[in-house]
Amino acid sequence: MVDVLLGLQWGDEGKGKIVDYFASGYDLIARFQGGPNAGHTLYINDKKVVLHQIPSGIFHDHIVNLIGNGVVLDAVTLKKECETVASFGVDYTKNLYISERTNLILPTHRALDKASESLKGNDKIGSTLKGIGPAYMDKTGRNALRVGDILDKNFTTQYIRLRLKHQKLLDSMHFNEDISAWEEEFFEGIEFMRKFKIVNGEYFINEKIRQNKKVLAEGAQGSMLDVDFGTFPFVTSSNTISAGVCTGLGVPPQKIKEVIGVTKAYCTRVGGGPFPTELHDDTGEKLRKIGNEFGATTGRPRRCGWIDLVALNFACMVNGVTQLVMTKADVLDSFEELKVCSAYKVNGREQKEVPYQITKVALDPVYESCKGWNTDISAMKDAKNLPGAMKDYIAHINQYLGVGIKYVSNGPGREQIIRVA
């Protein structure tokens, strides 16, 4: 069976920490979409590690980690990340597998991302500039190079052919930066990748399932960044929702069991695009400061606001969420009052659905007020000690969503997590 763990907001919900926490109960952890735009933070021996490409099970000795076909892979990032992981004493050559169908990010994809963003001016997506959009475009455009191709003796010729195609585009976009250093690194990365266990990912994972091994699919980004269901066009270029597991790993839908949705106790977003509950005031600043809300991949300050139950409810629906994990609850420890958005006022009318286009309509969040708990919960271990106001906050969210919060994370540390249901 396969369980899925994914983010329900605009990313950075704390997925990495929660995967690491649950990892010991699984035999295989697989990434099914996204690429180095992801930044998943873990604390190993009290040291912070940010993973971009490697699944968050890598620090557990018995766990197999798979980079699935739905991922876009940057060989340069992978090499650097492997070196980081190795500095913790992990032998990545043992437990890390890559699907031969995984699409490669080329240096020119990064250049195209940069050129495209700068042409968009004020309308830019706020992309991580990792080449994600152009790499997925080459996949659906049927041009891409895949990991399996690096084993082909004609790989360099194939690369040059695609690079020339990209160069024409770059010329038309007036991009004239020298990317030869990127190319040099790229080929070093490719050479490094040739040493990996490159597998036929769909047979590999289905064989594990047949052997009754437990698989966890690790999502990247968040549901509101899904290319179909997110706040288009301010989204990423993959299907971040649970359906992406089937296409991103070759897993049939009947094999998916639990869908674990991760949400912060409030909400953040990094990059451009609509964010109904965003706070531009001191409260937003306080959330950013206490929550240390700065991007794990780009270092950009994250935009902060109250929890948005309308968007969360939508995310629970499209993912088929069966259980919730609420992270960063400790960040709310010193607030007298908390707000939860329970409806949107769209062009003056209240509704509980996410509209088709939230960029172009007049949208105001409708809030309900909850009492803050004003207690330091970061050292708590047992649900029964949690403050009453916090239990009320959780109950309020559970009732609205019709799905229960099962775990609350009360700090970034590996042990800071409480089972509440």
Q: Which positions are catalytic?
A: 12, 40
- Phi/psi of residue 201, nearest 5 degrees: -55, -40
Look at the alpha carbons of 300, 71, 11, 363 in this order and tell me if their dihedral is positive or negative. positive
Look at residue 328 and give the partner it binds from ligand IMO, ligand GDP, Mg ion, none, a contact being a CB closer than 5 to 8 Å depending on partner kind: ligand GDP
The identity of residue 199, as a single letter, is V
Token match 């109960």: residue? 25
Site for ligand IMO in 215-244 (CB under 6 A): 220-222, 225, 236
| CA separation, residue 169 to residues 109, 144, 172, 297, 421 (Å) | 11, 15, 5, 27, 54
Which lies closer to ligand GDP via its Cβ, residue 116 or residue 416?
416
The identity of residue 73, as a single letter, is L
Instruction: Say if strands 197-199 and 64-67 run parallel, antiparallel, or are unpaired.
Output: unpaired
Site for ligand GDP in 308-347 (CB under 6 A): 327-328, 330-331
Pick from 236, 417, 241: nearest CA to 319: 241
The answer to whether 300 and 124 have CB atoms below 8 angstroms apart is: no
User: With binding defined as CB under 6 A, does residue 13 bind ligand GDP?
Assistant: yes
User: With binding defined as CB under 6 A, does residue 55 bind ligand GDP?
Assistant: no
Q: Which stretch binds ligand GDP (CB under 6 A): 9-17, 88-96, 227-235, 332-340?
A: 9-17
* Omega cis (within 30) before 233: yes
Pick from 66, 63, 91, 2: nearest CA to 199: 66
Look at residue 57 and give the partner it binds from ligand IMO, Mg ion, ligand GDP, none, a contact being a CB closer than 5 to 8 Å depending on partner kind: none
Q: Which position among 8, 15, 101, 249 is part of the footprint of ligand GDP (CB under 6 A)?
A: 15
Q: Which position among 7, 36, 39, 412 is part of the footprint of Mg ion (CB under 5 A)?
A: 39
Give the three-state DSSP class for 254: helix
The closest residue (CB) to ligand IMO is 271
Q: With CB under 6 A, what is the number of residues at the site for ligand GDP?
A: 21
**Under the rule (CB under 6 A), what is the footprint of ligand IMO?**
7, 10-12, 37-40, 125-128, 130, 132-133, 220-222, 225, 236, 270-272, 296
Residues that bind ligand GDP (CB under 6 A): 7, 11-17, 39-41, 296, 327-328, 330-331, 409-412, 416
Residues in contact with Mg ion by the rule CB under 5 A? 12, 39, 296
